[in-house]
């Protein structure tokens, strides 16, 4: 197993900055006639092709070792959850709120890491987790009646998927390169995403000629694909170089980028309780980073 924590952290920061743009591109495409599920379908197809080209150019084998099969299945399921649920949530709730809910995943990783990586979480980590979940309660609670529950549940499901994605990504990196398993994972989830897109579109796709998508929608769709391909590669490389619990806290940069981009690109403004709750979540994540570095 490769262990180069500094390089893993650098890749994590790059991935987080790019991932932060993803929900905003999806929301902007949706405003211009592209349903989020079709954005997911397009980026999934593009990344599977792009990674396949990279793997072929490097003469890498498209083979899943038997020992890698459980982590490959976990990576496929978790990537499907994140791809569909997180991006679909912005159709029902503001990007900023979806980000706040989704970013409970570093806390989940912090709590689950002792079980997966064989360490006791300790009272400090449990206290940090409680602060983060308290922030989520503040962000969601007062305005729950005015929010679409579907968006909240989808963002929460994506958060669970993201935690699984980190652990399975670290495990699968022992046996396969990011280009190979990244391509194969997205090929595996492409059919169910296509089926969901067709069912959601009543038998048709809105990005096809005659659909609701306009040129700006297509522009944001293409931007989404490029950003996601680079971000996913950097994400998986970070897990190849360092453990999930080491790199996960550095994805704290993603909600900052997402919220700032939502304000600049979409003109979104959250309510005061959502800013306060999001601030608590971010503070808890930063505290987990500081505590983890101090323990080491």
Contact between residue 103 and residue 281 where contact means Cβ atoms under 8 Å apart: yes
How confident is the model at residue 169, as a pLDDT?
A: 83
Q: What angle do CA 185, 211, 191 make, to 5 degrees?
A: 20
Spatial separation of the C-alpha atoms in residues 140 and 143, rounded to whole Å: 6
Q: How far is CA 270 from CA 143, 152, 163, 266, in A?
A: 11, 15, 26, 12
Return the higher-pLDDT residue of 146 and 77: 77
Enclosing domain of residue 124: 5-295
Nearest to 185 by CA among 159, 155, 161: 161
Residue 143 in this model has a pLDDT that exceeds 60: no
State the average pLDDT over residues 73-88: 88
Band of pLDDT at residue 191, cut at 50, 70 and 90: very high
Spatial separation of the C-alpha atoms in residues 76 and 264, rounded to whole Å: 33
**CA neighbours closer than 13 Å in the CB half-sphere of residue 131:** 18
State the average pLDDT over residues 66-87: 89
Number of domains, the chain = 1
State the average pLDDT over residues 211-226: 85
Model confidence over 245-284: pLDDT tens digits? Answer: 677 767 777 777 777 777 777 777 667 776 777 777 777 7
Instruction: Give the range among 26-40, 105-119, 174-188, 237-251 with minimum mean pLDDT.
Output: 105-119
How confident is the model at residue 276, as a pLDDT?
A: 77
Average pLDDT value over all residues in the chain: 81
Spatial separation of the C-alpha atoms in residues 296 and 280, rounded to whole Å: 24
Spatial separation of the C-alpha atoms in residues 254 and 249, rounded to whole Å: 10
State the average pLDDT over residues 72-83: 91
- Determine the 3-state secondary structure of 93 from DSSP: coil
User: Residue 256 corresponds to which tokens in the numbers above?
Assistant: 């900052």
Spatial separation of the C-alpha atoms in residues 30 and 9, rounded to whole Å: 32
- pTM of the predicted protein model: 0.74
Nearest to 291 by CA among 248, 239, 235: 248
Nearest to 72 by CA among 179, 188, 246: 188
State the average pLDDT over residues 150-163: 90
State the average pLDDT over residues 118-127: 66
Q: Which residue has the tokens 């700032």?
A: 260
Spatial separation of the C-alpha atoms in residues 221 and 293, rounded to whole Å: 38
Model confidence over 3-25: pLDDT tens digits? Answer: 577 788 888 889 988 988 888 89
Long-range CB pairs of 211-214 (<8 Å, 24+ gap) are 211/33, 212/33, 212/34, 213/29, 213/32, 213/33, 213/34, 213/38, 214/32, 214/33
How confident is the model at residue 119, as a pLDDT?
A: 59
Q: What are phi and psi of 120, to 5 degrees?
A: -80, 130
Spatial separation of the C-alpha atoms in residues 245 and 113, rounded to whole Å: 6
* Range ranked top by mean pLDDT from 112-121, 163-172, 276-285: 163-172
Torsion of CA 138, 260, 225, 193, to 10 degrees: 20
């Amino acid at each position: 197993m490769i262990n180069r924590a500094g390089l893993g952290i650098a890749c994590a920061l790059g991935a987080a900055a790019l991932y932060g743009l993803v929900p905003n591109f999806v929301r902007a495409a949706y405003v211009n006639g592209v349903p989020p599920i079709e954005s997911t379908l397009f980026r999934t197809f593009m990344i599977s092709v792009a990674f396949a080209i990279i793997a072929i150019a490097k003469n890498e084998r498209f083979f899943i070792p038997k020992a890698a099969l459980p982590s490959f299945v976990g990576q496929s399921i978790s990537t499907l959850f994140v791809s569909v649920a997180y991006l679909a949530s912005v159709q029902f709730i503001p990007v900023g709120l979806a980000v706040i809910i989704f970013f409970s995943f570093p806390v989940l990783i912090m709590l689950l890491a002792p079980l997966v990586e064989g360490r006791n979480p300790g009272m400090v980590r449990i206290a940090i987790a409680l602060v983060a979940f308290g922030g989520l309660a503040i962000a969601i609670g007062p305005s729950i009646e005015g929010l679409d529950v579907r968006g909240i549940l989808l963002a929460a499901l994506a958060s669970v998927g993201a935690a699984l994605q980190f652990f399975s990504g670290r495990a699968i990196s022992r046996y396969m390169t990011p280009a190979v398993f990244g391509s194969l994972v997205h090929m595996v989830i492409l059919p169910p995403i296509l089926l969901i897109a067709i069912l959601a579109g009543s038998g048709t796709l809105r990005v096809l000629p005659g659909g609701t998508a306009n040129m700006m929608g297509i522009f944001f769709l293409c931007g989404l694909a490029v950003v996601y391909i680079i971000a996913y590669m950097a994400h998986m490389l970070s897990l190849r170089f360092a453990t999930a619990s080491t790199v996960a806290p550095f994805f704290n940069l993603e909600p900052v980028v997402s919220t700032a981009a939502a304000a600049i690109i979409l003109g979104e403004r959250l309510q005061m309780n959502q800013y306060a709750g999001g601030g608590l979540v971010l503070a808890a994540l930063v505290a987990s980073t500081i505590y983890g570095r101090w323990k080491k």
